[in-house]
Structure 1
């Protein structure tokens, strides 16, 4: 972790170049004490295009690609995931997501929560945040 003038340890904050610039006052990744914290990833491609009108499967695929890019940009990987939190605008998408996620995660089986939320920002159907090890 980086320090500041007072000697206080600070997390390392990163925004991998293969992700869109954050749309708010946050970083895509914060690294502290050997852990990688990935901010909620939305279905926004690397050029900043919001996939609001795309199908759930396309949105979920983009979010999982963003999560992988954030992990790898921080020096981590899917295999090093500790916990994944998935927010679904409609719980009816759970079976489809679970199938996509299983293929994406492979042998990795981190702790996971799926939370039905109702409407998400910009009308998106899914958001995912995660914690991994370095």
Structure 2
């Protein structure tokens, strides 16, 4: 059975995506940026944006019945790879003991020029 989880963003219906999708015991969380109520959080601060993103991901997982501890993979997209350590350390604040498989890559741009990081997550429920 498939469950689509919405964050309430108007873009979900317009573009045709869900914040997260749960199928069976697997939860896929869409690429998530530090955007709350249409505003970018942590402007210019990659660590703060990472924390905000992971908070949004946590809420999506909880809505799907999952926890951060169930995350097995994250993918981190950054606009400036020189900020890898700030972003990585903020990721480690949340996932330091969980230690999912993780990839971090630099991309040319994200949707809003103020976005410095975007993260996807995958979780498997026990």
Check whether TM > 0.5: yes
1:96 aligns to 2:86 (yes or no): yes
What TM-score comes out, normalization by structure 1 length? 0.82
Gaps in structure 2 of 5+ consecutive residues: none
Number of aligned residues = 121
More RCO (CA 8 Å, sep 6+): 2
Matched residues in 2 for 1:87 and 1:100: separation?
14
Rg (Cα) greater in structure: 1
Matched residues in 1 for 2:10 and 2:87: separation?
24
What TM-score comes out, normalization by structure 2 length? 0.87
Matched residues in 1 for 2:8 and 2:46: separation?
20
Q: Is the 8 A contact 1:37 1:130 kept in 2?
A: yes
Residue 29 of structure 1: aligned partner: 20
Gaps in structure 1 of 5+ consecutive residues: 2-10
Q: Is the 8 A contact 1:22 1:28 kept in 2?
A: no
Give me the CA root mean square deviation: 1.6
Name the structure where helix makes up a greater proportion of residues.
2
